[in-house]
Amino acid sequence: MHPHLAAADTAATPIVFVTPSDWEKAAQSFGNDALCYAKATGFEGKAGTVALLPGLGGSIDAVLFGADPASDPMAAGQLPGLLPDGTYRFSTKLKDDALATLAFLLGAYRFTAYKTKPAPRKLALVPGPNVDAADVARIASAITQGRNIINTPANDYGPAEIEDTIRRLASCFNASVCSIVGDDLLTHNYPMVHAVGRGSVRAPRLIDMTWGDPSHPKVTLVGKGVAFDTGGLNIKPDAAMLLMKKDMGGAATAIAAAEMIMAAKRKVRLRLIVPAVENSISGSSFRPGDILPSRKGITVEIGNTDAEGRLILGDALALADEEAPDLMLDFATLTGAARVALGPDLPPFYTESDALAAQIAASGDSVADPVWRMPLWKPYDSMLSSKIADVNHVSSGAFAGSITAALFLKRFVEKTAHYAHFDVFGWVPATKPGRPEGGEPQAARLVDRLVAERYGA
């Protein structure tokens, strides 16, 4: 049971969803004194506000919550920040009770690992009769894991700790894990992963987890695991480096999605691949102008060491593509250009398949985990040309940065039937319903729904 879920027979305070046009009627149903009290407090049913209607002995008889679930299915995620400790239940019939319950749990998340005396909360929700509490808890648990990964500072969470997380997850679901570390990356032909990570005292690695029946459709998730990104020799300015603990946000998304898939026992053969590095600065750091070999055999000219994520993903995607999975998805906090285009809340994704794009968009909409398709515009491929190598890994101009990064990655995928790349932000800059400020494994819930829709629940 999730810590913020209560048993169905637990006594609970009702929460009534109201709007400015109907809140008075809802308040009146609890008595005239309740209506008068709500008016006296200035409650008007506005979105994101609550009225705590008093009961006998100082108890709370009911909660009026200003929200329109039809327009914002995650609205209930605001409630943990508005309610005192207690046990509650939704008394309003909602379009999607399960999503509202999940929003409540996600909104209750707090990252307190580094608080010496974190303020304890005793806040719980009784799920409605039509809600599969175990399934909601499955999703909330995986999102919590993903958020914790991103929020943990880099001094305590490097490439080895990313591997530890994946190994702990594998042990819970009888999955197998192998890892290639340090100079062994060269022996096993992952030269770009090695080049990006060799400047750090924390050894780079390629982590490879498999789970499920080998006869089932193969689904592969690849996540960018840059534990911290200084920018390398093209060092970032201080303001741009402050949030770089989140540069493993792609790995966090892939790990969270993998946990959901395994916990739901989906009928797929799942593979999780995470190239994990720290892009640091030392005498052994790779340089602008270097030419790197790759697992695919493509030679890559380095235009900027701060575009390291696509390099490690290139080797990882080439590995994944070798077994031609039915579905391959990669996730990376890859470009600032994606944020300029679509902001922090709406990650772009890229695929050549119109059918897969439609499924991805529909899955995101159904679970309020939105994404937006962007084009793999082939004429821009010339922006990655190199005079001395097969390709430069960054664009020759200032435009279309997210598209050219996706075009670079596409070079490493040939055999996979269905492939999509997600350029996620991995962070919520200001608290929103169900999404507290901080790390967020964007698109993980979408992937869980997508896999269920494609391969059966």
Backbone φ, ψ for residue 65 (5° rounding):
-125, 115
* pLDDT tens, position by position, 425-446: 999 999 999 999 999 999 999 9
**Structure tokens of 396?**
């020759």
* pLDDT tens, position by position, 320-333: 999 999 999 999 99
CATH topology of domain 13-108: Leucine Aminopeptidase, subunit E; domain 1 (3.40.220)
Domain ranges of the chain: 13-108, 138-455
Instruction: Please name the amino acid found at residue 179.
Output: S
Residues in the chain: 457
Interatomic CA distance for residues 287 and 266, integer angstroms = 43
Evaluate if residue 170 carries a pLDDT over 90: yes
* pLDDT tens, position by position, 370-395: 999 999 999 999 999 999 999 999 99
Helix, strand, coil percentages for the chain (3-state, nearest 5): 35, 20, 45
* pLDDT tens, position by position, 27-64: 999 999 999 999 999 999 999 999 999 988 878 999 99
* Predicted pLDDT of residue 203: 98
Q: pLDDT exceeding 70 applies to what percent of the chain?
A: 100
* pLDDT tens, position by position, 264-320: 999 999 999 999 999 999 999 999 999 999 999 999 999 999 999 999 999 999 999
* Predicted pLDDT of residue 407: 98
The CA R_g of the chain, rounded to the nearest whole Å, is 24
Evaluate if residue 457 carries a pLDDT over 80: no
DSSP state of 119: P
Task: Name the residues annotated as catalytic.
Answer: 236, 310
Evaluate if residue 1 carries a pLDDT over 80: no
pTM above 0.95, yes or no: yes
Interatomic CA distance for residues 442 and 141, integer angstroms = 15
* Predicted pLDDT of residue 71: 83
Evaluate if residue 69 carries a pLDDT over 90: no
**Residue 398's pLDDT band (cuts 50, 70, 90):** confident
Interatomic CA distance for residues 368 and 349, integer angstroms = 16
Task: Evaluate whether the domain defined by 138-455 bears CATH number 3.40.50.300.
Answer: no
Q: Are 351 and 326 in contact (CB under 8 A)?
A: no
Q: Going by DSSP bridges, is the β-strand pair 438-439/427-428 parallel, antiparallel, or unpaired?
A: antiparallel
Instruction: Please name the amino acid found at residue 446.
Output: L
* Predicted pLDDT of residue 225: 98
Task: Give a three-class secondary structure readout of 186-210.
Answer: HHCCCHHHHHHHCCCCCCCEEEEEE
DSSP state of 97: H
Instruction: Please name the amino acid found at residue 106.
Output: L
